[in-house]
Structure 1
């Protein structure tokens, strides 16, 4: 079976890389170097090429690295709780929210954070980021003593959750904001940027003005190690003490509970591929055939060694939004895919093994993926093999994450992989709006369904939990019926740390990789 051949090739490549790493030899003295030092190194992926928080999704990096904070945040159960705002209330009209800004907070340059400065920070975000208006349309910001009053053009039921998204982290706009991209923004988090080398390393140091109390660590280095085998070896050698985004196949290396801690979380992320309807994929028949040709169950169970659940819907089954209730008309059925194409005029005119459209146009679909998540390559390569079997020619274009964002926003792709948190504001509303609302600036696929738009608008003003759930289920079903997107799977998230590390927690909303609680065990420094 060709899928199994792919698995063997992926495993062989992994062995070769591992042998190379072992052959080079990690310096075992690295483990001794961290002792008697109040600093750690973290191995990460999807590194940023800028720390400007309004650019693309790079505010997530600023939040994950303990640099920036927002008015609200999520706890370990995904609930919205206070952060830079102590409390909030909503007027009966639903369009006016009052946030009481916390006193005694200072930015990392020692400047006091005031409601006026919070106001200017939010205004800057809306001015510079096209994504901001996908959360809510800001009508007015008003200062009333210690309160910041936010007025929107229509009711926004999930506004406190929206403000927990790192896009809305609070920065000091009085500083030289032109330097934020290269030097890091001035924020209120437990750490501040010491140095930043795009795509390589970011070093943060303790913020001595931090409002939340004493910060345990003096320095944290975030090192970009895209290859997961290399990242695993770096943790084993002591080069790093925390590793993010390791996979199921790495777990055997960390079974010694006296040396390592392993945390896992059923994913709140979905890996999917946009299908661009502005080109040949405007034909729903072709999109349906593609979906029916993909053996997502095998990809998840065999190729990813059970490290994912096979995909079906926009929202993973870990959230209660009707996964089992949803009907997938395009489950794996390659014979049905072939029949559908033949019946609708697709044929191999030049006998090269690949189909042409009913108009005789050659089909060669560019599948854009990025390199920092190993499972994305597995999905893409498996899809290439599966689709070849029904006569669809796929060319894989592997790019950096930053380039992928540019291609997505420009609509320059046929298929484009995406891995995203689906409850970034507390539930899937904003995730659905950002990707499938026809007027969303992030929707560059040409996807448009009037009913989906209507339901998303209705969802944004609905406060009742049960009614919101029903709307989200209906929206998902419509998106699935349109065969607009390939939902590959929902991967398990792992966090593996050295036993020397304390209070490194895995959050369902993965905005908080480093917090003011992470520390080195006292015994490890003695």
Structure 2
């Protein structure tokens, strides 16, 4: 599942002074939570953008996911060292021999933040709400196509009946957040709860100050604080989320002690010698290597726009982005050039698929093949239905820190007669334009996935309002292979199918696939202690605590 939810922006310490050469932290042995970590203190985290909504079902951006991860609980969770499933709301579970029935046994001591008990009714409601048209949560639909119905056995036991053997059935159902029926049961009323959030997790929502912050308080009644498998988790009394997008402002706030944790940050924040030295003793810049699937950046083309319907044009545009220069100039060469629709380090990314190189001459050749010429010696033109059209388009983006990337791209496009306007749009308005299909091109990013299912982003069935295939990409061969791969139980065979899908999508060039990071980069305050620089499968900031004086 892309970043567990939907889309992201281009778009996570005994402290010593930050050295000019940033430390590379590689997890060479198992990291362990500090089960005796002291409780208390405040963690102020910059999540770099404001959630458009906190609704547990309808919120569809990464910013909301950050908040959900503290406030909501799922039936099971992943161990950060082994990546095996471990109990969360469900203390145990069974799977039938044919894989078509999951039985979950809930803990007895779980309460929502308003004091009411979490029961099987809430599990049934949460899972089946995905299909309630009154909610319209279409971004979740591809992951729940295997769900038939949820049977309540007793107040603490549910049986999840499945209608197929989709390979991610257990992961999708087990990791889905459970929310209270008594709060969200009326879909129309609950849609208005954009600044409220009720869950059963380790933190409660205290307040949401639009444009400023979200404040969470530790839930002392959380079952996990008594469960052995969750010891060392959730040590801060208060979590504060800030929405500072401007990188320079965020750095100054961090230097002044007003931000304790900023993740993810761009590689140059950590790699630049002068910038690293300027951080002083109050901050540590971290470059860590772990097994977390890596994000990739992209520029996506709206297939509903005539300009981008010709594959030769899309490949030409990819040849006109000088990713090598951008990587060297702004990312210190520490990113890999992406080749296709999941991170290049994935087992589903064939090594035979190579990055499209910067090659203006090849781009000109492809544009001429597509019928574009430059009679005015300045802007490309083409005959379309008896009319002359010029090659002009607008690139929408929502993060000013990356505008310098698009400026380089714009200048290279201009040299061959293509005019690109760069337009910054605030995140909430950006999402509305995306869902309405009112854009030419967009700059965004997707998170990686261990078990890749391309359907939400690349299947034609997902090209609907609110769906993740917002560029309206369609390829019948890709659709057929996706449908086959989703129900292939043999991992080796499924991997082969997914590699074929990767090759077909990469060849269509629906995006300019830009970068995959080699490392994770983050900043943290000197008042924070950590059990390790990183766990095997994530940073593990949920296990941090306040340094004792």
The bucket for the TM-score relative to the shorter chain is 0.7 to 0.9
Distance 1:317 1:80 in 2: 25
Structure 1: state its 5+ residue gaps: 1-35
Map of 1:80-119 to 2, 5 A cutoff?
80-119=85-124
Deviates more, 1:402-411 or 1:262-271: 262-271
**Alignment partner of 1:311 is 2:341:** no
Deviates more, 1:485-494 or 1:68-77: 68-77
> 1:361 is matched with which residue?
389
The verdict on how the C-alpha distance between 1:254 and 1:337 changes in structure 2, with shifts beyond 3 A counting, is same
Residues 203 and 222 in structure 1, CA contact (< 8 A), matched pair in contact too: yes
Superposed CA RMSD in Å reads: 2.7
* Shift of residue 513, structure 1, vs aligned partner: 7.4
Residues 396 and 439 in structure 2, CA contact (< 8 A), matched pair in contact too: yes
> 2:76 is matched with which residue?
72
Distance 2:170 2:434 in 1: 28
Distance 2:329 2:460 in 1: 36
Instruction: Give the length in aligned residue pairs.
Output: 475
Map of 1:102-501 to 2, 5 A cutoff?
102-127=107-132, 128=135, 129-137=137-145, 138-145=147-154, 146-163=156-173, 168-175=176-183, 178=190, 181-213=193-225, 215-251=234-270, 252-253=276-277, 260=284, 262-265=286-289, 268-279=294-305, 280-327=307-354, 330-351=356-377, 353-359=378-384, 360-371=388-399, 374-375=401-402, 377-423=403-449, 426-429=450-453, 432-440=454-462, 441-491=467-517, 492-501=519-528
Residues 270 and 490 in structure 1, CA contact (< 8 A), matched pair in contact too: yes
Structure scoring higher RCO (CA < 8 A, sep ≥ 6) equals 2
Residues 107 and 209 in structure 1, CA contact (< 8 A), matched pair in contact too: no
Residues 117 and 172 in structure 1, CA contact (< 8 A), matched pair in contact too: yes
Distance 1:514 1:507 in 2: 9
Residues 293 and 387 in structure 1, CA contact (< 8 A), matched pair in contact too: yes
Distance 2:441 2:426 in 1: 16
Deviates more, 1:201-210 or 1:136-145: 136-145
The verdict on how the C-alpha distance between 1:205 and 1:312 changes in structure 2, with shifts beyond 3 A counting, is same
Residues 370 and 399 in structure 1, CA contact (< 8 A), matched pair in contact too: yes
Over 6 Å off, 4+ runs: 254-258, 507-510
> 1:52 is matched with which residue?
55
The verdict on how the C-alpha distance between 1:41 and 1:256 changes in structure 2, with shifts beyond 3 A counting, is same
> 2:7 is matched with which residue?
none
* Shift of residue 92, structure 1, vs aligned partner: 4.0
The verdict on how the C-alpha distance between 1:37 and 1:445 changes in structure 2, with shifts beyond 3 A counting, is closer
Deviates more, 1:256-265 or 1:402-411: 256-265
Structure 2: state its 5+ residue gaps: 1-38, 227-233, 271-275
TM-score w.r.t. length of structure 2: 0.80
* Shift of residue 130, structure 1, vs aligned partner: 1.1
Distance 2:461 2:72 in 1: 30
Residues 53 and 59 in structure 2, CA contact (< 8 A), matched pair in contact too: no
Residues 327 and 477 in structure 1, CA contact (< 8 A), matched pair in contact too: no
Describe the SS at the equivalent of 2:183.
coil
The verdict on how the C-alpha distance between 1:182 and 1:43 changes in structure 2, with shifts beyond 3 A counting, is same
* Shift of residue 395, structure 1, vs aligned partner: 1.2
Describe the SS at the equivalent of 1:496.
strand
TM-score w.r.t. length of structure 1: 0.83
